[in-house]
Amino acid sequence: MKNKLFPEMQPLAQGWLEVGDGHEIHWQTSGNPEGMPVVWLHGGPGSSASSLHRRFLDPTRFWIIQYDQRGCGRSRPSGSVHRNETVDLIADIERLRQFLGVSRWSVVGGSWGGALALLYAFAHADRVVRMLLRSPFLCTQSEIENFMEHPPKECRDLWMNLKTLVPPSSRQTILEYGYQVFCQDQDTQEQARLAHAWVSYEAAMNVYPATAPVLGMVDGMALISRYRVQSHYLKHRCFVNEDLLAQATVLKEIPLTLVHGELDALCPYTNSLSIQRVAPQAKLVLVKGGGHDLTDPGILTSTFEELERWH
């Protein structure tokens, strides 16, 4: 992996942007300020921008823009779900574009970031030069239920570790209980216990069909913030009230690349097929035997190679 990507780079500039409702989103730019602007939308919901993401883009050719969504990463206040819905996140992307003085930019999004990229393009197609979606999420109830309740057998032990934290007397699903614990209760001990079990299970689903990773020490408060945001979004079906692709006709005008793993356990390969049906010009790269994770060797190579084709 190290040989395939561009060398590690530090941000040239970073800061916080007030976006209203008491939120400030943390942003960072790297690469060439005179180059082609590209915004990278991180996944989750609840994750954050990563130094790995910018290594997929040639720093001599691209101005690389990253940020943490409301309540995520270094954005403030951490873990806040107040006025934190998908429509707010789309507005924040546009605020960031205006703040940075970008007229048009290319958009990269993976997983939940892929859903945000689609929704942003629907709202602001005239601002999008091109898009690459890696393993896009479509915010369907079936995707959420499969993640929370129907893991492949290789991930079932870690799912059971999570499931056993739900009191049988409550008769709640994992997601219902998680939403209660993270968003309604104040028991930080139970929040930390649930968050550690959740992240272990999610990590296994993320790398499937590879072997689940052994996670090192993780900041408990950061995990609580992450899963407060995630449970808030998943409980409300990511605040998408209809078929996400219902308004996808604008995609036909945007050069679009899709990279998707054949064995993705979180966002099925059929998601990209559905996108290609409404945007037949899209180039679809199927990674045989690939999973969901960006560092899956096939996913990493395909994503890197497709971004190298951007000029």
Instruction: Provide the annotated active-site residues.
Output: 111, 264, 292
Q: Is the peptide bond before 77 cis (omega within 30 degrees of 0)?
A: yes
35: tokens are 């180059």
Residue listed under structure tokens 């999973």: 291
Can you tell me the distance from the alpha carbon of 154 to that of 177, in angstroms, rounded to the nearest whole number? 24
171: tokens are 């008769």
Give the Å distances, CA to CA, from 22 to 69, 84, 87, 221.
13, 10, 16, 20
Can you tell me the distance from the alpha carbon of 167 to that of 163, in angstroms, rounded to the nearest whole number? 9
Residue listed under structure tokens 């989750």: 44
Nearest 10 degrees: Cα torsion 85, 86, 88, 90:
170
* Residues ≥6 apart with Cβ < 8 Å to 4: 300, 301, 304
- In a 13 Å sphere around the CA of 8, the CA atoms on its Cβ side amount to 5
Q: Under a CB-based contact definition with an 8 Å cutoff, are residues 116 and 93 in contact?
A: yes
* Count of beta carbons in the 10 Å neighbourhood of residue 62: 21
Q: What sign for the dihedral angle of Cα 203, 207, 212, 215? A: negative
Can you tell me the distance from the alpha carbon of 276 to that of 263, in angstroms, rounded to the nearest whole number? 18
